[in-house]
Structure formats: structure tokens, C-alpha cells
A = this chain, B = another copy of it.
């Protein structure tokens, strides 16, 4: 993306704030307008020079931007998308960071003022807000991008690709929105819902809950880390493949329960195969910015 361009980032939380910081670092000449309805992250982003200007949504000069990035929680993002598009310059490019793409891209396709390119950076931490943002959040990450919809704008997809490459992404995957949602069900939303259910089970453990908390070690910590991410639920709720996947996961657990009682040899064999499969999976490295629980990098 050209440095002389002007972009707006709507939502200065972990993702939006980190994107502003990463772009500022990579493209010092880019003019970045930060938009948030909360004055605190606006002040913080200005103070850190992550943005050149910061405004409330109603004051945002969206009509002078070449590119607008929606980085708010999922439900709010879906609601604001048409309103933001309607305020933009015709022929400009709108994109987003939501973890569910089908409904969002359908909203993007329902207008013809701007090009909408749905995006999903595969990065995050369980911390929230601009205070948790870091310019390194997207270093080496994968970003899924959906085909451009809405107004046909030449170079729209390339512009969004360049945005993420500048922010540090290593790999851009072009995906159909529905295929994305089915895949992300297994990569993210189902692991998240399972983690939340495990936390819920511990809280409901009655008289042994305090001891269970005392005995919780690194295994519980890592298994449930994702449950601490309050934003994932919103994306999972916009993913139409989730209810069926959650039921299938429940069925799998019921099968495991029956095997533990009646067929321990069979389940131990399967668990051993699964542990081998898991160990063979290529997983992203642990970096201080992407996943280590503890004090966030830039908390103040």
C-alpha cells in the first residue's frame, strides 16, 4: 500500500490498536485515523503516536479515507458495516478483522458503494484493549482474505493484502467465506467453546471446585486460555457451522465416556494416536506477544 494513503481503523482494541502500531512502524508516511467510541483508547493511541488523529465514530472523516478497517467486536461490526460503507467515498475499500466471514461478507455484498474484502488475521491474545496492543502481534501470522464483493474496485484485494503484509503477516490465504467459517470452526471456534465449557465445568464442580482450582496446573491454564478471550464468543455466534460442530464434539465426548467405562483399551489406543497426531502438527511458535499468559507486553 502506498504511504501517501489515508486509512481509518475503527475499533482501537487489541487488534485495531496492534494494526495501527504495526502500520506506523512499517509505513511511517501513512496517515492513520483511529476511531473508537471510548475516549480512553483514543487518548492512548494518540499518546503512543499509533494514530495521527483519533475521533469518535460520528466524527470520523471516513469520506477522505482510501481504506477503512473495521476492528470492533463481531456483532457491532456486522451492525456498523453498512453504515460505515454509506459514509465512505465511492470506490474506496472497506475491510474487517472478524473471525466469522460468511455473514460479514454477505453484508459487504449487500451494498455497492465500496469494495468490501473480508479479512481474518490469525493472531490474538487473551488481553483486551489498546493497552494490550503491540506492533509485533501480526509478525509471521497467517491472514485469511475473502474475495472482494460490493462495488467492483480495481486493486481492492491487492490493497488489503498489502495492508497485512505491511503489518507483518507472513502468509495470505485466499478463501471463500463459507469455507473459511467451516475451517475456523475446527481451528478456533470449537476449541474456544470447548475451553469455555471446561471452565464452566470447574466452576460447577461444587464442593471440590476450590481443590480443583488448587490442583489446576499448566495443563488447565493452557487448555482454557482461549476461554479468557471475551471477543471469540461473538465471532463463534456469527458462525453458522458452530451449533452442529458443538453437537458433534458433545457426541465425541459421550463416546469417550462410554469407552472409558466399557472399552478402556479402545479409548487408550485412540488417545495415544491423538497424542501422536497432536505432536506431529505444525504449530506456530510461542511468542511473548501471541500467547504467553501473564503480564501483557504493554499494559500500563
Binding site for B on A (CB under 8 A): 75, 122-126, 141-142, 144, 171, 173, 175, 179-180, 182-188, 190-203, 205, 208-209, 211-230, 232-234, 236-237, 242-254, 256-258, 260-261, 264, 267-268, 270-272, 274-279, 281-286, 290-294
* Nearest CB on B from A262, distance (A): 9
A183–B290 alpha-carbon span in the complex (Å)? 30
- B250 near A215: Cβ-Cβ < 8 Å: no
- A211 near B124: Cβ-Cβ < 8 Å: no
Task: Tell whether A260 pairs with B246 under 8 Å between CB atoms, given A186-B209, A218-B124.
Answer: yes
* Nearest CB on B from A243, distance (A): 4
- A215 near B293: Cβ-Cβ < 8 Å: no
**Contact partner of A284 among B173, B221, B261, CB < 8 A?**
B221
- B250 near A219: Cβ-Cβ < 8 Å: no
- A187 near B202: Cβ-Cβ < 8 Å: yes
* Nearest CB on B from A224, distance (A): 6
Total copies of the chain: 2
**Contact partner of A286 among B188, B256, B293, CB < 8 A?**
B293
* Nearest CB on B from A200, distance (A): 6
Q: Which 7 A-B pairs have the closest CB atoms?
A: A233-B271, A218-B291, A246-B257, A250-B250, A183-B211, A230-B275, A122-B217
* Nearest CB on B from A22, distance (A): 16
- A257 near B278: Cβ-Cβ < 8 Å: no
Task: Tell whether A188 pairs with B260 under 8 Å between CB atoms, given A253-B247, A274-B196, A286-B292.
Answer: no
Contacts A197-B256, A246-B257 known; 9 new A-B pairs at CB < 8 A: A142-B214, A173-B214, A193-B256, A201-B249, A216-B283, A219-B229, A227-B274, A250-B250, A250-B257
- A219 near B257: Cβ-Cβ < 8 Å: no
CB-CB under 8 A from A272, the residues of chain B are 230, 233
- A254 near B264: Cβ-Cβ < 8 Å: no
- A274 near B199: Cβ-Cβ < 8 Å: yes
* Nearest CB on B from A240, distance (A): 9
24 contacts across the A-B interface (CB closer than 8 A): A75-B268, A122-B217, A124-B219, A142-B215, A183-B215, A184-B215, A186-B205, A186-B209, A187-B202, A188-B217, A188-B219, A191-B219, A191-B224, A194-B194, A213-B281, A218-B290, A219-B226, A220-B283, A222-B223, A225-B278, A230-B272, A243-B257, A246-B256, A286-B292
